[in-house]
Amino acid sequence: MVNKIDCTILTPERVLFEGEIGFAVVQAHNGEMGFLYNHSPLISELGVGEVRLRDEKSTKHFIVEGGAVEIRDNKLIILAENAIPKAELNITEIEKRLKELSEVDVKKFSEESMMLQAETYKMKMRLKVAKR
Amino acid sequence: MAKQRDILNRIKSITNTKKITSTMEMVSTAKMKKMQSRLEMSKPYDVKVNEIIKNLLSTGVETASEPLFREVPDPSRVLILQITGNRGLCGSFNTNIINKTMKLKEELEADEKEVLLYVIGKKGINFYNFAGVPMFKSASNPEDKLTFEEAARISEELRRMFASGEVHEVYVSYTKVISTASQKPEIIKLIPISKAETEDIDAKLRINTEYIFEPNPYRVFSYILPLYLKVKIFTCFLESSYSEQFARRVAMKNATDASTDMIRELTISYNRARQAKITNEIAEIVGGAAALE
């Protein structure tokens, strides 16, 4: 296959992935978004969720927690605020954290409960990716 | 007699000091290298965020509505975020930043503006405590434990203060890395974001690519600007830490070199003293023998 996208996943801490892939799926702000060769230039906000990078043989999974994505001239750049590859996720640790979070008691609709919800959601997404 | 032993003691104590300084030099070299690689890792991110903002601006998004761009006419409350180190023994690194900040503070106060200081780093805090200058807020420098979340938290705090109108301008006083071998204390205006900074490259980059924005340019814009601030503060922290380690390395290298020189000189004078003593003793023996004859 010749038609490949040049893909880079960046976080402020490191360059997470750099290479050519055939097909990419990212979690945009309100749903998943796929990119193939010759996609028109686009900038989008990212939500918390999974990023899948596929070429003919394998699929790589990442979890991206907020950021932005840009594609132009078949160069896909994912600017993540925080991103972790699947290999670095630890299922037992995430489950432990989820359990801890479920035990925290906060007032409904307060700022803390919102933050708790966001954190729980993040962990759930991490778990989903880790179990892939 | 006593002189000889004194010199020996001094040599010993300087040798010990030299051991410490050369170890510190090695430690800070290692830390500096680590910071350098982190700095390089964060560079592409920084560049990319700037590029996206430029692309957004070139599409002609209405920026007037974006609060982070809004200049407050006649600003009267200004916040300065000052980043110093936690520790000394790094030459004039900390004093340079403090001096620079104080100068700006005086200038602003001469214009009858109220200046709030947000001090990061124990050295800075100690100074202001000693000088009796009130600080708005202070925190110790996270140094090599610095994470992006930490920087994000601070920038979010600053952004909120600006958005709520609590402060009208935010400056950052830190040490900028110009090249790997040269750093300089600098003050930048963080908020409101100056458009001039983004405009010059904008002209060059006018490639006229029609972007699709998801969900719309305004949303992307209002998301990417806070991100820009976070990245900016994160880089400021990284650069400061790098500069601190660099300054410490230089200071420690100088100290090590100076102690090497001192040891050499002292060894020479030690040998002289020893030789003088021996000569003296021989002279005494010869004199004694001559007296017996």
Give the CATH number of the domain where residue A72 resides.
2.60.15.10
Q: What pTM does this model have?
A: 0.85
CA-to-CA dists, residue B201 to B47, B154, B185, B198, B205, angstroms: 12, 28, 25, 6, 6
Contact yes or no for A30 and B215 at CB 8 A? yes
Please tell me the distance from the alpha carbon of residue B178 to that of residue B183, in angstroms, as a whole number. Answer: 5
What's the gap in Å between the CA of A103 and the closest CA on chain B? 24
Tell me the one-letter amino acid at B229. Answer: L
A9/A50 same-domain check: yes
For residue B61, give the amino acid letter. Answer: V
Whole-angstrom distance, CA of residue B43 vs CA of residue B236:
12
| Each residue's pLDDT tens digit, A55-112 | 888 888 899 988 889 888 888 999 998 888 888 888 888 888 888 888 877 777 777 8
Domain coverage including residue A97: 90-130
Q: Is A47 helix (H, G, I), strand (E, B) or coil?
A: strand
Same domain? A50 vs A103: no
pLDDT of residue B27: 94
- Residues A100, A82, single domain; the answer is no
Structure tokens at B222: 């209002």
Does residue B280 register a pLDDT over 80? yes
Please tell me the predicted confidence (pLDDT) of residue B100.
92
Asked whether the beta carbons of residue A79 and residue B49 sit closer than 8 angstroms, the reply is yes
Measured distance CA(B173)–CA(B118) in Å, rounded: 10
More confident residue, A111 or B235: B235
pLDDT at B165 over 70: yes
């906000």: which residue's tokens?
A45
pLDDT above 60 (res B291): yes
Mean model confidence pLDDT for chain B: 86
CATH architecture assigned to B2-27+250-292: Orthogonal Bundle (1.10)
For residues A74 and A14, state if they share a domain: yes
Residues 227-266 of B with CB under 8 A from A: 227, 230-231, 234
Contacts of A43 in chain B (CB under 8 A): 52, 55-56, 211-214, 220
With 90 as the cut, is the pLDDT of residue B28 above it?
yes
A 76-105 → B contacts, CB under 8 A: 77, 79, 81-82
Instruction: Give the one of B45, B210, B213 whose C-beta lies nearest to A79's C-beta.
Output: B45
Are B45 and A42 a contacting pair at CB < 8 A? no
Where do the structural domains in chain B lie, given as residue ranges?
2-27+250-292, 31-247
A44 touches chain B (CB under 8 A): yes
- pLDDT exceeds 90 at position B223: no
Total domains in the fold of chain A: 2
CA separation for the pair B107, B109 (Å, rounded): 5
Q: Tell me the average pLDDT of chain A.
A: 86
* Inter-chain touch B52–A43, beta carbons under 8 Å: yes
Q: How many CB atoms lie within 10 A of CB B101?
A: 26
Give me the pLDDT at residue B50, please: 84
Q: Which of B90, B120, B172, B190 is catalytic?
A: B90
| Residue A29 forms contact with B (CB below 8 Å) | yes
**Are residues A63 and A80 both part of a single domain?**
yes
Q: Do A41 and B41 touch (CB under 8 A)?
A: no
* pLDDT at residue number A1: 56
Residue B204 has pLDDT above 50, yes or no: no
B236 is catalytic: no
pLDDT of A105 = 76
> Which homologous superfamily does the CATH classification assign to the domain defined by B31-247?
ATP synthase, F1 complex, gamma subunit (3.40.1380.10)
One fold for B2-27+250-292 and B31-247 = no
Q: Are both A110 and A50 inside the same structural domain?
A: no
A13, A42, A45 ranked by CB distance to B148: nearest: A13
Interface probe, candidates B37, B41, B45, chain A, greatest A C-beta count within 10 A = B45
Asked if pLDDT for residue B166 goes beyond 90, the answer is no
Closest chain B residue to A30, measured at CA: B215
Q: What is the pLDDT of residues B104-157, one digit of tens each?
A: 999 998 888 888 899 999 999 999 999 888 888 888 888 878 888 888 889 888
A contact test, residue of B47, B211, B230 with most A CBs within 10 A: B211
A6-25: b or e for each residue (b if 16 or more CB lie within 10 Å)? ebbbbbbbbebbeeebbbbb
pLDDT higher than threshold 70 for residue A7: yes
Q: Are A58 and A41 in contact (CB under 8 A)?
A: no
Residues A43 and A79 in one domain: yes
Q: Is the pLDDT of residue B198 over 60?
A: no
Q: Is residue B185 a contact partner of residue B175, using CB atoms and an 8 Å limit?
A: yes
Mark whether A15 and A77 lie in a shared domain: yes
Q: Which residue type occupies B48?
A: K
Model confidence at B12, pLDDT cuts 50, 70, 90, reads: very high
Over its C-alpha atoms, chain A yields an Rg (Å, rounded) of: 16
Query: Residue B223 is nearest to which of A12, A40, A68, comparing CB atoms?
Result: A68
What pLDDT band is residue B2 in, cutting at 50, 70 and 90? low
**Is the distance from CB of B1 to CB of B277 less than 8 angstroms?**
yes
| Percent above pLDDT 90 for chain A | 8
Looking up tokens 């032993």, which residue turns up? Answer: B5
Report the residue from B44, B52, B209 with minimal CB separation from A68: B52
Other beta carbons within 10 angstroms of residue B213's beta carbon come to: 19
